[in-house]
Structure 1
Amino acid sequence: MKNLIVKGTQAIWGNATFSIVHGCGGITKNKSEGDGSTPVGTFPFRCVFYRKDRIPEIETDLPLHILEKEDGWCDDVNDPLYNRYVKLPYSGRHEDLWREDRLYDIIVVMGYNDDPVVPYKGSAIFVHLKPLAGKSTAGCIGLEKEVLVKVLKEATLESCLIVEAPLGA
């Protein structure tokens, strides 16, 4: 079994090490909704969403879902579907998963704050495509497309994202 291990701005997958982007708020042990930080911990890979119009095929053992324009993720801390997939239009605050900037062409949903869901502990923690150079994420992990495709091809249902605490934290 391989795990994606994040140490600062580097990640390890098997014998490969590569650069990643994490949240603009850094890496934290005390994640809260909207803080822009990436949580420390071990999180199972739940499933993959992808834009079939941009990524013809994803090879993986993980559950696959083709993204549609009506797909969203609830980030409304007062909503019963907080940190859950939703269909749009949706009345609660949410994030659109269908984006024009290609960031969400591939999304790996992480098992963060989902069993059970705790309001205000953070939502929509994904592994997705890396933003443009110099940009950070809102708390997710961003990878180059080729790296993410390789990770998904080699991932199993037991694979996890492991985000290590920064030294001195």
Structure 2
Amino acid sequence: MTARPNKTLFVSLFICLLLVLFSLFLLYFIDKIERMFPKKFPKQQKITVVVPTPTSCEGYMRFFERIGDGGQWTPESDFIPILIGKNGLSWGRGLHDAQVGEQKKEGDGKTPAGIFNLGLIMGVAEELPLGASWPLYHKKSPLDAWIEDPTLSHYNHLVTISEASSPPIWFEKQRLRIEDPHLEWMVFIEHNYPDAIPGFGSAVFLHERYGEHTPTSGCVAMEKERLIELIRWISYNAKPKIVILSIPDYTRLQIPWDLPPLYQAYPEAFLIVNQNKP
């Protein structure tokens, strides 16, 4: 007599087959969804500007990059000598929480400390240097002014007047100095912007330095070649941030602000920190 198949075993095998088929279909469906909406781990960029003390006016800049949140910052440049305000640093208004200490004021000769977005690039050329892709570019003209007078409307904003024959009374003092070769390229550091508070500082740019040891009135200055290198390097989609700090504040804020290690942002930083110890 031929044995009849076990009905329970048959049902179990059938159910397992259905489960396998369903699992395969589910995996196929998930793969399709992931292909339609791929996971994105965007590139991030950070520019560090570090000086030894809050009253220093010379320091170093470095470019950093990483993929996704929480990863390790990778240096993308060597140490670039920079100059800041002749009176050092005071706290600016940017992406960071308010910090205890002296706050940036108009005309104080200090560069704003903190973390900031990069904004508009201005230049005298028709377009950015070859290889640059930054979408925010404005060719400077004799009709342009950047308002630094806290009593005027549009404080800390670019203003273009309608005609040169009858400019406003304030225009001459506020106009962009397109005849200055050191201001051929200007990258706006978004301190106290866009909701500018009158008197809290304005017109902070990255621009070419006037001399190897000549400080600025509050901007960040560097060699022209390195400035052009920065303009070519920054990617709008990577949302580059610039961090401007003294070594003591960098040490304090390195972890909370998710910054690259200090030794990567400033040469011989360990020696300087130790020299400042009692």
TM over 0.5: yes
- Select the structure that is richer in strand: 1
Structure 2 segments unaligned to the other structure (5+ residues)? 1-43, 52-58, 65-74, 92-102, 162-166, 251-278
Q: Which of 37, 41, 63 is residue 13 of structure 1 equivalent to?
A: 63
Q: How many residues align?
A: 168
Q: Higher mean Cα deviation, 59-68 or 27-36?
A: 59-68
Structure-1 residue corresponding to 2:119:
46
Candidates 198, 201, 204, aligned match of 1:122: 201
Q: What's 2:155 paired with?
A: 82
Separation in 1 of the partners of 2:160 and 2:111?
Answer: 25
RMSD: 2.2
Residue pairs, 1:144-155, within 5 angstroms: 144-155=223-234
The residue that corresponds to 1:31 in the other structure is 104
User: TM (normalized to structure 1)?
Assistant: 0.88
Larger Rg: 2
Task: Establish whether residue 101 from structure 1 lines up as the match of residue 151 from structure 2.
Answer: no
TM-score calculated relative to the size of structure 2: 0.56
Give a deviation string over 1:47-92, Cα, whole Å, max 9, x none: 1101118x87352324111111221101111112111112253433
Distance 2:79 2:135 in 1: 22
**Contact 2:129-2:228 within 8 A present in 1 as well:** no
Q: Deviations over 1:122-164 (max 9, x none)?
A: 0001111111233111100012111111111111220121101
Indicate the SS of the match to 1:137.
coil
2:240 is aligned to: 159
Q: SS in structure 2 opposite 1:103? A: helix
Q: Which runs of 4+ in 1 moved over 4 A?
A: none
The superposition leaves residues 17-46 of structure 1 with CA deviations (integer Å, 9 ceiling, x where unpaired) of: 110010111111211000010011111111
Letter in structure 2 aligned against 1:2: Q
CA contact (8 A) 2:129 2:232 kept: no
Q: Which has the higher contact order (CA 8 A, sep 6+)?
A: 1
Identity, % of aligned positions: 23
Which residue of structure 2 lines up, in the alignment, with residue 136 of structure 1?
215
Mapped partners of 1:111, 1:11: distance in 2: 17
Would you tell me which structure has more helix in proportion to its own residues? Answer: 2
